[in-house]
Amino acid sequence: MIKLRDIDVVFHDEDRVVTAVKDVNLDVEKGEIYGIVGYSGAGKSTLVRTINLLQRPTTGTVLVNGQELMGLNARELRQARKKIGMIFQHFNLMESRTIFENVAYPLRGSGLNKKEKAAKVAELLSLVGLKEKTDAYPNQLSGGQKQRVAIARALANDPDILLCDEATSALDPKTTSSILDLLRELNEKLGLTIVIITHEMSVVKDLCHKVAVMENGHILEQGPIVDIFTEPNEQLTKEFIDTATHFDQEIGMVLAHPETQKLNREGILARLRYVGVGTTQPLISTLVREYDVTVNIIYGHIEILQNTPVGNLLVAFTGESENIKKAIEFLKQSDVKVDSVSDLLEEFVTKED
């Protein structure tokens, strides 16, 4: 659906040359929700704006729906852009016009008559749950409602793609979550392909199928969110994931607890991680039964990512060390990652002495 190839965007600012995007390749499939994360200045907005050529790349190609956008003339590009909606952090509504007029605005020149336009706007407003606000003005709406109007407006020409640049950054957590629900619903109901820029990994976790992590104009890492969340390769990705899961902090607090310290002296602490295994329960009981070890689950956290359970457990093994070794081997063979917690112990426990 969207294919970006070898994209560079270079700005010439007075005496400075800024390479905002460098060597980017990105594929977004139809019906996918694709997240772009990165710190401020990473190049996220610049990159996403190349998808509808709001920003022309310095080099590279932009293919949308099989069409090479850079080769289109002005009229063809206007047509192509109608199929790519966009929403922003600050909604960009026209304050002096009613909600109806804001949503109807992209329909000028659509060939629809007055009655058809009114029907289309009513349909869009009911899709975003704002039918009763037709005659209100933007300043009479909350931030979340304004973003809903912006979404309705962006969908006026039945686009295949919706680009969202920090669309929830100005909203509180509850409103953010209701806007994410709406985006998910639009994705499922209309098959809308969504590219969403955010600096919040929790947004990615709750909504996206895939994610790309950007730094200094480059994409450092990209892929399905279950893969990225369970096996991040880059330090920056790990940082972002930690902000969404808080797992390291939580496990650190548990490790620092005197009871955990006692278990640490008596046995072996380990961190177990697994993806998609229905549950570790049968595994744990097998360990106890077959290997004659005791397994204490000290902390457990299960995330559901894209309908896939992703488990993080902190356990203490006690028993004969030969048995513990065999038990750990068995876990590894059952696709459970078993890691030592020494790095976390160091970070969270010894520091406090």
* Residues contributing to the site for Mg ion (CB under 5 A): 45
Which of Mg ion, ligand ATP, none lies near 325, with the C-beta cut-off 5 to 8 A by kind? none
41, interface contact from ligand ATP, Mg ion, none, CB < 5-8 Å by kind:
ligand ATP
Cβ 7 to ligand ATP shortest distance, Å:
12
CA 33 to chain centre: 8
- Which one among 4, 26, 45, 164 touches ligand ATP, defined by CB under 6 A? 45
Residue type present at position 172? D
Shortest CB 167 distance to ligand ATP, Å:
12
SS (H, E, C) the chain: CEEEEEEEEEEEECCEEEEEEEEEEEEECCCCEEEEECCCCCCHHHHHHCCCCCCCCCEEEEEECCEEHHHCCHHHHHHHHHCEEEEECCCCCCCCCCHHHHHHHHHCCCCCCHHHHHHHHHHHHHHCCCHHHCCCCHHHCCHHHHHHHHHHHHCCCCCCEEEEECCCCCCCHHHHHHHHHHHHHHHHHHCCEEEEEECCHHHHHHHCCEEEEEECCEEEEEEEHHHHHHCCCCHHHHHHHHHHHCHHHHHHHHHHCHHHHHHHHHCEEEEEEEECCCCCHHHHHHHHHHHCCEEEEEEEEEEEECCEEEEEEEEEEECCHHHHHHHHHHHHHCCCEEEECHHHHHHHCHHHC
Number of residues near ligand ATP (by CB under 6 A)? 13
Under rule CB under 6 A, which residues in 187-246 are in contact with ligand ATP? 199
Q: Which stretch binds ligand ATP (CB under 6 A): 12-20, 130-138, 230-238, 251-259?
A: 12-20
Task: Tell which one of 2, 28, 46, 87 touches ligand ATP (CB under 6 A).
Answer: 46
- Shortest Å, Cβ 58 to ligand ATP: 12
Stretch that binds ligand ATP, among 37-45, 64-72, 95-103, 188-196 (CB under 6 A): 37-45
Binds ligand ATP (CB under 6 A): choice among 35, 38, 57, 311: 38
Residue 18, interface with ligand ATP (CB under 6 A)?
yes
Q: How far apart are CA 347 and CA 324, in angstroms?
A: 25
Tell me: does residue 41 bind ligand ATP (CB under 6 A).
yes
**Closest chain position to Mg ion (CB):** 45
Nearer to ligand ATP, 40 or 139 (CB): 40
With respect to ligand ATP, which residue has the nearer C-beta, 38 or 311? 38
350 is a site residue for ligand ATP (CB under 6 A): no
Q: Is 99 in the site for ligand ATP (CB under 6 A)?
A: no
CA atoms within 13 A on the CB side of 279: 5
Residue placing its CB nearer to ligand ATP in the complex, 37 or 104: 37
Residue 40 or residue 350: which is nearer to ligand ATP going by CB?
40
Position 42 contacts ligand ATP (CB under 6 A):
yes
Per CB under 6 A, the list member of 2, 4, 7, 20 interacting with ligand ATP is 20
Which residues bind to ligand ATP, rule: CB under 6 A? 11, 13, 18, 20, 38, 40-46, 199
